[in-house]
A and B are shown apart, each in its own frame.
Chain A
């Protein structure tokens, strides 16, 4: 026995540094237990505080870690707790807390998921006031996955994180209360395509392991200079890995799932995906490309250039003809993914990388808040059958509820990158980084597509304020306290980041200074 014990070193786990993630996962476990052992009527009043408090606690722990200035790979080098990780954790946690306030509205989720849509069983579940409180632990698992994904310093951990993040989301996508078939279809599509892309990711991991003999990101980086003559393995592996990651951020030509899934999912889940998942996936993408493949940038930069251009163009052009507000926002998200990619390819010296990274981080926060806010507004504009998705229903909204329409206009202007909104500084930071990284042509495409994008944002504003209201237009739901808080917070963040961006810019800059630990 003793010889065996000596042969296997007990892994060292830095509990303090991983504490934010551990708290979220722990709370998710407790949530599952709550589902199992507490009576139905008590569950929500336990789950909601548990979820919010655990994430608040995790945020506090993240801040604590940030103040401590911890920067190294924890858990035997499997998880990197560094500046970017901490910043991303903080952003994801804040956005997730805000999204949970939206999710807390029972109204969005199915009464009984197992009941066939339109069946008597469903009617009974609705009249009994059934609700799936499992959504809270599911959200916690997803958030935990989102935190681990960008922090993973090892391709296998990253894959596990990817699945931990995605599986709950697949499920959550199918839980919309209304238009359930659409929702289930979205969940199905997301699952199938997600699984497909995961396979690419895993295949890429395997090939890279074959090349480098390790799945550790820093080991892969080192192997680039030592291993020779295995370029096919390397290129195939890196490209496959890239496919998996680009799928998650929704870059073209892997963007097809985004509009369908965004449209079908319950809107609060869409908000969580569009903000949290995007941030997490960008974090992971940066870590893989900048850490593991950092010395290979001559090879992947041209490829990502093409992807960025294609993504911006596809997102901006397709958004123009969308008639559904959520689909339009989905395409807008694709376009924004493209804008962010311009800074991903703008690598260079260390200072340049820090510059680009801080721009991306700021952009992600700014975009995340505006997105959650915009989807929160979408939940409030209702038709008898659910949310008023079709754009024509939004005509004249500005005349009937000027405040709501005004706030929505603010978010749209932020998406368009108009000064005095957060979007302006985000776009500026990213494009400036891209220019100083030598990607001028990319920025030109970015600016042109931004102009195209401005068209469809402003078109909605024109529709809301300068068209006559439809005679039997949608009703504006009286927002619950949670929804009102979300809209207010998001609007405040959008304005504050647009007028006094400096503190957050500084924070992003500090976080980016250390770049990624190797």
Chain B
């Protein structure tokens, strides 16, 4: 395997001012938040403008980067001394390389489309300006996360994303469920963040630095045990942000946020952070096969769990959330496979960014038409009422199930093939996952757009305004061609190689390999079964009780129940115990002490009689004591 290219110092040019990508949306957020109600009228426009401007800068940086030879494409821009001090000296800089710029383009590109879409979606919300401020903050934090040239900068962005996601998921904080979901996302993420923080601590103690370049070049000197520790700690962080088992529980609840938020979190930004972290730390996992194996196991487990959850959900957004979990699982799996998988992981991530954003925004469009209804059992037959949404959603749907020649086909098949070569068990599980994906996505699609209408009485579906449909159209173009463009001829793999290292042999794409055909066959079975159950047959308006398996899936595989039993209840007992101890033990002691001091004070106060003679007497006795003491001490 060839390692990644050297990192080159850079100044000047567009790359020299690449910090603008981060600063512009940050500035937007600051203006909108500090400006308050005064900015209400044009706030959303400013938000969109800042996001678009950031996208433009990212494109210009990308073009300039392409101007360098492949081995010159890793460039660091020094910004300032972030943490100067004793033994730790962190310089803040941005690392512009094929990996980070891919993310930056995805984040700003898809992010901008979501911004534009939100103008229409949030048109009637009185707090639209604040919403855009948070969106800008989210973009800025995410960009810092992927562009920072060191783990500490990444951590700052990571926490910024956590904060912004908290604010956005709980945006409708008047709904208790939204507030709870925001809190849940935040708390679960904290568990992951702790892992990341620990990982960074170990990195610092091992390598004496947190900058990516020196850390990666120092990996060969570190012991395997240390690398495994770092790898697992970072994985815990990645699991939190990317909603991988066992920290997946927040993702489904996060649907409480406005739908564009779901699109932003799921498609372009937050959940991809974990994949980025693993890929960026690639050399560490190469040096720690155990940690890499755990990554693949987590990936496979999550891709199956997400898919199973997706099969039973009637809430369109939750079904999509299950699918996100599952797809990120594929990326994680690929990322765990080492340099061979990196390109597929990132390619799938980008393709997923397009089709998932398109589907989430499509779901938003459907909800917009159905008075914010999310229960698919009350949809049906929408295809004729909202053609653009139907077509764009359909293209996204075909892409995700891996319909030949659409985006998902190229990228997901690449992952499955690579996994199969690596370890057949992982490979076959991934194939099964693909089959389930075919089923639950078809179920979702048919229940929403086909079959007989099962609408509530006063619902009159209509197509969404142009400001919402255009982003859908643009995204669906990406979901059709993106994957093919990236994978065919190993284009993306070649592009990414300087950043993540070049695998020993470039994988070649076999359209008719056994694995590929098996996948296609299983997907076809899934689609057909879904058509029988939900396309042709009547869909009951009320969900049937379902088998044990259905209930299992519907309850998110009892993830919440496990969390409650394992952590919440013992935690509550612990807090109750602590409160009891505090009330009885500590407070008793403190109050007793306070009473003692207060009483002493009250008694001592009486000494202060106000008579000069008694004061003089006290001085006299004091003096006598002082002299006496002096004699005693002096003669010791």
**Which residues of A are in contact with B by a Cβ distance under 8 Å?**
188-189, 192-193, 196-197, 200, 231-232, 235-236, 238-240, 242-243, 246-247, 252-254, 256-257, 259-260, 298-300, 302-303, 306-307, 314, 317-321, 452, 455
Contact A235-B627, Cβ < 8 Å, known A257-B615, A299-B633: yes
Q: What are 25 residue pairs bridging A and B, where the CB atoms are less than 8 Å apart in the complex? A: A192-B612, A193-B612, A193-B616, A232-B631, A236-B630, A239-B627, A239-B629, A242-B626, A246-B626, A253-B621, A254-B618, A256-B615, A259-B608, A260-B610, A298-B633, A299-B634, A300-B633, A303-B633, A306-B629, A318-B608, A319-B601, A321-B598, A321-B601, A321-B605, A452-B597
**B602 within 8 Å of A (CB atoms):** yes
Contact (Cβ within 8 A) A253 B622: yes
Chain A residue numbers with a CB within 8 Å of B601 are 317-321
Q: How far is the CA of A426 from the CA of B631 in the complex (A)?
A: 34
Contact (Cβ within 8 A) B622 A243: yes
Q: How far is the CA of A303 from the CA of B625 in the complex (A)?
A: 10
Contact (Cβ within 8 A) B630 A300: yes
Q: A239-B629, A243-B626, A299-B634 are in contact. List 12 more A-B contacts (CB 8 A).
A: A188-B612, A197-B619, A231-B634, A236-B630, A240-B623, A243-B623, A253-B622, A299-B630, A302-B633, A318-B604, A318-B605, A318-B608
Q: How far is the CA of A307 from the CA of B614 in the complex (A)?
A: 20
Chain B residue numbers with a CB within 8 Å of A257 are 615
Residues of chain B in range 585-627 having any CB-CB distance to chain A below 8 Å: 594, 597-598, 600-602, 604-605, 608, 610, 612, 614-616, 618-619, 621-623, 625-627
Contact (Cβ within 8 A) A254 B622: yes
Contact A240-B627, Cβ < 8 Å, known A192-B612, A231-B634: yes
Q: How far is the CA of A10 from the CA of B631 in the complex (A)?
A: 42
Chain B residue numbers with a CB within 8 Å of A321 are 598, 601-602, 605
Chain A residue numbers with a CB within 8 Å of B625 are 253
Q: How far is the CA of A252 from the CA of B615 in the complex (A)?
A: 11
Contact (Cβ within 8 A) B634 A235: yes
In the complex, which of the residues B604, B616, B629, B630 has the most CB atoms of chain A within 10 Å of its own CB atom?
B630
Nearest chain-A residue to B619 (Cβ)? A254
Chain A residue numbers with a CB within 8 Å of B605 are 318, 321
Chain B residue numbers with a CB within 8 Å of A239 are 623, 626-627, 629-630
Q: Sort chain B's interface into a size bin.
A: 20 to 34
A314 partner, pick from B594, B597, B604, beta carbons under 8 A: B604
Chain B residue numbers with a CB within 8 Å of A319 are 601
Chain B residue numbers with a CB within 8 Å of A299 are 630, 633-634
Give B142 Cβ to nearest chain A Cβ, in Å.
Answer: 33
Nearest chain-A residue to B607 (Cβ)? A256
Q: How far is the CA of A200 from the CA of B629 in the complex (A)?
A: 16
Q: How far is the CA of A247 from the CA of B615 in the complex (A)?
A: 11
Contact A196-B602, Cβ < 8 Å, known A299-B630, A302-B633: no
Q: How far is the CA of A252 from the CA of B635 in the complex (A)?
A: 24
Q: How far is the CA of A383 from the CA of B59 in the complex (A)?
A: 69
Chain A residue numbers with a CB within 8 Å of B631 are 232, 235
Nearest chain-A residue to B609 (Cβ)? A256
Give B632 Cβ to nearest chain A Cβ, in Å.
Answer: 9
Give B87 Cβ to nearest chain A Cβ, in Å.
Answer: 22
Contact A236-B622, Cβ < 8 Å, known A256-B615, A318-B605: no
**Which residues of B are in contact with A by a Cβ distance under 8 Å?**
594, 597-598, 600-602, 604-605, 608, 610, 612, 614-616, 618-619, 621-623, 625-627, 629-631, 633-635
Give A465 Cβ to nearest chain B Cβ, in Å.
Answer: 21
Chain A residue numbers with a CB within 8 Å of B612 are 188-189, 192-193
Chain A residue numbers with a CB within 8 Å of B597 are 317, 320, 452
Q: How far is the CA of A511 from the CA of B352 in the complex (A)?
A: 68
Give A326 Cβ to nearest chain B Cβ, in Å.
Answer: 14
A243 partner, pick from B594, B610, B614, B619, beta carbons under 8 A: B619
Contact (Cβ within 8 A) A256 B626: no
Chain B residue numbers with a CB within 8 Å of A196 are 616, 619
Chain A residue numbers with a CB within 8 Å of B622 are 243, 252-254
Give A245 Cβ to nearest chain B Cβ, in Å.
Answer: 11
Chain B residue numbers with a CB within 8 Å of A252 are 622
Q: How far is the CA of A253 from the CA of B628 in the complex (A)?
A: 14
Chain B residue numbers with a CB within 8 Å of A231 are 634-635
Chain A residue numbers with a CB within 8 Å of B629 are 239, 302-303, 306
Give B586 Cβ to nearest chain A Cβ, in Å.
Answer: 14
Chain B residue numbers with a CB within 8 Å of A254 are 618-619, 622
Q: How far is the CA of A300 from the CA of B612 in the complex (A)?
A: 28
Contact (Cβ within 8 A) A320 B621: no
Q: How far is the CA of A149 from the CA of B285 in the complex (A)?
A: 72
Chain A residue numbers with a CB within 8 Å of B602 are 321
Nearest chain-A residue to B594 (Cβ)? A455
Chain B residue numbers with a CB within 8 Å of A259 are 608
Give A491 Cβ to nearest chain B Cβ, in Å.
Answer: 25
Nearest chain-A residue to B631 (Cβ)? A235
Chain B residue numbers with a CB within 8 Å of A318 are 601, 604-605, 608
Nearest chain-B residue to A238 (Cβ)? B630
Contact A200-B623, Cβ < 8 Å, known A317-B604, A318-B608: yes
Contact (Cβ within 8 A) B630 A303: yes
Chain B residue numbers with a CB within 8 Å of A235 are 627, 630-631, 634
Nearest chain-A residue to B628 (Cβ)? A239
Chain B residue numbers with a CB within 8 Å of A236 are 627, 630
Q: How far is the CA of A452 from the CA of B597 in the complex (A)?
A: 9
Give A448 Cβ to nearest chain B Cβ, in Å.
Answer: 10
Chain B residue numbers with a CB within 8 Å of A197 are 619
Chain A residue numbers with a CB within 8 Å of B634 are 231, 235, 299
Chain A residue numbers with a CB within 8 Å of B619 are 193, 196-197, 200, 243, 247, 253-254, 256
Q: How far is the CA of A452 from the CA of B602 in the complex (A)?
A: 15
Chain B residue numbers with a CB within 8 Å of A452 are 597
Give A67 Cβ to nearest chain B Cβ, in Å.
Answer: 32
Chain B residue numbers with a CB within 8 Å of A300 are 630, 633
Chain B residue numbers with a CB within 8 Å of A306 are 629
Q: How far is the CA of A196 from the CA of B619 in the complex (A)?
A: 9
Leading 3 A-B pairs by shortest Cβ distance: A253-B622, A256-B615, A239-B627
Contact (Cβ within 8 A) A303 B626: yes
Nearest chain-B residue to A317 (Cβ)? B601
Chain B residue numbers with a CB within 8 Å of A192 are 612, 616
Q: How far is the CA of A236 from the CA of B621 in the complex (A)?
A: 14
Contact A253-B630, Cβ < 8 Å, known A189-B612, A318-B601, A318-B604: no
Contact A320-B598, Cβ < 8 Å, known A253-B619, A256-B618: yes
Q: How far is the CA of A235 from the CA of B635 in the complex (A)?
A: 10
Give A285 Cβ to nearest chain B Cβ, in Å.
Answer: 14
Give A394 Cβ to nearest chain B Cβ, in Å.
Answer: 19
Chain A residue numbers with a CB within 8 Å of B626 are 239, 242-243, 246, 303, 307
Q: How far is the CA of A487 from the CA of B119 in the complex (A)?
A: 50
A193 partner, pick from B604, B610, B615, beta carbons under 8 A: B615
Q: How far is the CA of A204 from the CA of B164 in the complex (A)?
A: 71
Chain A residue numbers with a CB within 8 Å of B615 are 189, 193, 256-257
Give A263 Cβ to nearest chain B Cβ, in Å.
Answer: 10
Give B598 Cβ to nearest chain A Cβ, in Å.
Answer: 6
Q: How far is the CA of A189 from the CA of B631 in the complex (A)?
A: 31
Give A356 Cβ to nearest chain B Cβ, in Å.
Answer: 21
Q: How far is the CA of A320 from the CA of B605 in the complex (A)?
A: 10
Q: How far is the CA of A495 from the CA of B447 in the complex (A)?
A: 65
Chain A residue numbers with a CB within 8 Å of B621 are 253
Give A363 Cβ to nearest chain B Cβ, in Å.
Answer: 24
Contact (Cβ within 8 A) B630 A317: no
Contact (Cβ within 8 A) B608 A256: yes
Give A239 Cβ to nearest chain B Cβ, in Å.
Answer: 4
Give B603 Cβ to nearest chain A Cβ, in Å.
Answer: 9
Chain A residue numbers with a CB within 8 Å of B630 are 235-236, 238-239, 299-300, 303
Nearest chain-A residue to B627 (Cβ)? A239
Give B636 Cβ to nearest chain A Cβ, in Å.
Answer: 9
Give A237 Cβ to nearest chain B Cβ, in Å.
Answer: 10
Give B577 Cβ to nearest chain A Cβ, in Å.
Answer: 26
Chain B residue numbers with a CB within 8 Å of A320 are 597-598, 601
